[in-house]
A and B are shown apart, each in its own frame.
Chain A
């Protein structure tokens, strides 16, 4: 007799802020398999990008995800700069790193708070989000907006960080560091959190490699990968910082990695701010035209590597933009971590990769009930080949 039960989580579920749908196959209390359905958030950004100019595209990719809202622009600008062989001014490199790291700070704190919420520890949530506010205030002072900073443009940055802003920034950072330090100590010593999170949802080193995990998910399993070090851009090779790894691979290790990374971020920002006092000059290189060709760019977003590919035919609009967000590769690791755990732990394990579905949404699969066919892998492959051929033909080239 088949005693399997299926528990659906989503698409609209109180625990999730974004629509996504998990099917947990259960045997008693134990999860034996998990299926993920995404696509509720697909907004066809790659297609819209083809109707935007290179400058506008940056604002568009910013709206891929509200939490990584500077990661996508940095990766995109890196790609366009790679395509057009643009060297960005040194001051712009420091400013990019500052904004990128501030974002990591706010994103990691946001996740830590939500993780508390997921295990029913709302005190932690309220507490951490309260300490996240000063970072948003810094953002508002420096970039003009709490989220969606609109700081990047191909060739540099749009706004300078002024001399008089620096004391405010440093003060805010000192404050934030003290608070994060307090939270970190409290979280690491908390017996409740340890009991709830240690040894739960272990992602082994082998699995992390097999599933190509990136970012904190991989680093918590003992794999020291980080694009900031492996292929430096912005100012990451000009400052001193280190990669945080943990060996255990469980949810607790992921918490530790993220919280400790906050201190590295603060360290990077401090060094960049110091350099801003001496490195003066332009904040953006002049970009006259984008030649035909293709470029790639990446950035270590708070969740892992985000990758952008841009192809141009020499006009002012790209002919193709391709985005690969970190959750896209991190999400399948739930196949390795969730089965075998109890249903109560499933939510926090799923949340432990810091999923961001609006980044991940790839393709629209239309429900059968509405009478339209869902696309399968083969269809997608065929479509993508057809498209590449078309682009190649339009560009007058035979191969990719």
Chain B
């Protein structure tokens, strides 16, 4: 675990949407804007998975997105942290029994933390990420 101390300073997150209703995604973007200002915790949203320490995953993985999600996950450097944001990513939510849904996320990739809510408030998302940092 000691190797992870470097992440405690500043964790870079990548936002991965895989069949969500867009609302969790908007709330994640909202975290960046002046009112919530995620960056004051050193959390930075990055454009490329290769730079990321953690994935903020939303949505309940559709069949078409599945191979891409696996590829994105494989490209991520170690240690791979995945934070499932929203009811969809945590449990499948309202789409649980849909024919095109293979999720929830923890069926496909190991998930580190869950932030439930539909959508979770930005405060909850920030809280989730900060809790992950503190647990490292």
Q: Are the C-beta atoms of A40 and B101 separated by less than 8 Å? A: no
User: Bound state CA distance, A42 and B25, in angstroms?
Assistant: 16
Chain A residues numbered 44-87 whose CB sits less than 8 Å from any CB in chain B: 44-45, 47-48, 51, 59-60, 63-67, 69
Partner of B64, one of A51, A66, A366: A366
CB atoms of B26 and A147 under 8 A apart: yes
Q: Which of A14, A64, A66, A148 has the most CB of B within 10 A?
A: A66
Stretch touching chain A among B4-12, B90-98, B105-113, B125-133: B90-98
Known: A18-B22, A43-B101, A358-B22. A11 touches B65 (CB 8 A): yes
Identify B65's interface contact among A40, A66, A147, CB under 8 A.
Answer: A40
> Which residue from B15, B46, B72, B99 sits with its C-beta under 8 Å from A44?
B99
> Interface extent on A, as a size class?
35 or more
Cα–Cα distance between A118 and B16 once the two chains are bound (Å): 18
Option from A14, A19, A60, A125 in Cβ contact (under 8 Å) with B18 = A19
Given A66-B22, A133-B35, A43:B118 Cβ within 8 A: no
A19 to B65, CA, bound (A): 8
| Other-chain contact of B63, A17, A18, A366 (Cβ < 8 Å) | A366
* A367 within 8 Å of B (CB atoms): yes
Q: Specify which chain B residues have a CB less than 8 angstroms from the CB of A17 in the assembled complex.
A: 15, 17, 22, 25-26, 29
**Contact (Cβ within 8 A) B33 A367:** no
Instruction: Give the docked Cα–Cα distance between A64 and B20 (Å).
Output: 9
Query: Looking across the interface, which residue of chain B has its beta carbon closest to that of A72?
Result: B21
Q: Which of A271-319 contact B (CB under 8 A)?
A: none
> What 1/0 flags go to A357-372 for Cβ under 8 Å of B?
0100000111101100
Tell me the complex Cα distance, A39–B64, Å.
7
Secondary structure call for the A interface: loop
Contact B26 A110 (CB under 8 A): yes
Nearest-CB residue, chain B, relative to A113:
B33
Instruction: Give complex CA distance A122, B64 in Å.
Output: 32
Partner of A148, one of B23, B33, B100: B23
* B contact patch SS: loop
Q: A204 to nearest B CB, angstroms?
A: 30
* B118 CB contact (under 8 Å) in A19, A148, A366, A370: A148
A66 contacts B67, C-beta separation under 8 Å: no
B4: min CB distance to chain A, Å: 25
Whether a CB of chain A sits under 8 angstroms from the CB of B116 is: no
Bound together, the chains give a CA A69 to CA B67 distance in angstroms of 29
- Is the beta-carbon distance between A42 and B19 smaller than 8 angstroms? yes
Give the CA-CA distance A380 to B68 in the complex, in Å.
Answer: 25
B47 is an interface residue with CB less than 8 A from chain A: yes
CA distance A215 to B26 in the complex (A): 22
Asked, given contacts A17-B26, A39-B64, A42-B64, whether A60 binds B20 with beta carbons under 8 Å apart, the answer is no
For residue A184, CB closer than 8 A to chain B, the reply is no
Cβ–Cβ < 8 Å partners of B47 in chain A = 14
> Do B99 and A41 touch across chains, with their CB atoms under 8 A apart?
no
Contact A126 B23 (CB under 8 A): no
List of B residues within 8 angstroms of A63 by Cβ: 21, 23, 93-95, 118
Residue in B15, B27, B95 whose beta carbon sits within 8 Å of that of A43 in the complex: B95
Binary CB contact string for chain B from 25 to 64 against chain A (1 if under 8 A, 0 otherwise) = 1110110011100000000001111000000000110111
Docked-complex contact A130 and B33, CB < 8 angstroms: yes
**Given A19-B17, A43-B19, CB of A66 within 8 Å of CB of B33:** no
For the complex, give the distance between the alpha carbons of A45 and B65 in Å: 17
**Distance, CA A66 to CA B33, complexed state (A):** 18
Q: Kindly identify which residue among B20, B35, B46, B49 contacts A358, using a CB–CB cutoff of 8 Å.
A: B20
Interface positions of B (Cβ within 8 A of A): 15-27, 29-30, 33-35, 46-49, 59-60, 62-65, 67-68, 72, 93-95, 97-101, 118-119, 121
Instruction: Kindly list the 8 A-B residue pairs having the minimum CB-CB distance in the complex, ordered from nearest.
Output: A66-B23, A14-B47, A129-B33, A66-B22, A44-B98, A17-B25, A130-B34, A40-B65
User: What are 15 A-B contacts with C-beta separation under 8 Å?
Assistant: A11-B65, A19-B68, A40-B18, A41-B20, A42-B62, A42-B64, A63-B21, A66-B20, A67-B23, A125-B33, A130-B33, A133-B35, A147-B27, A148-B119, A366-B63
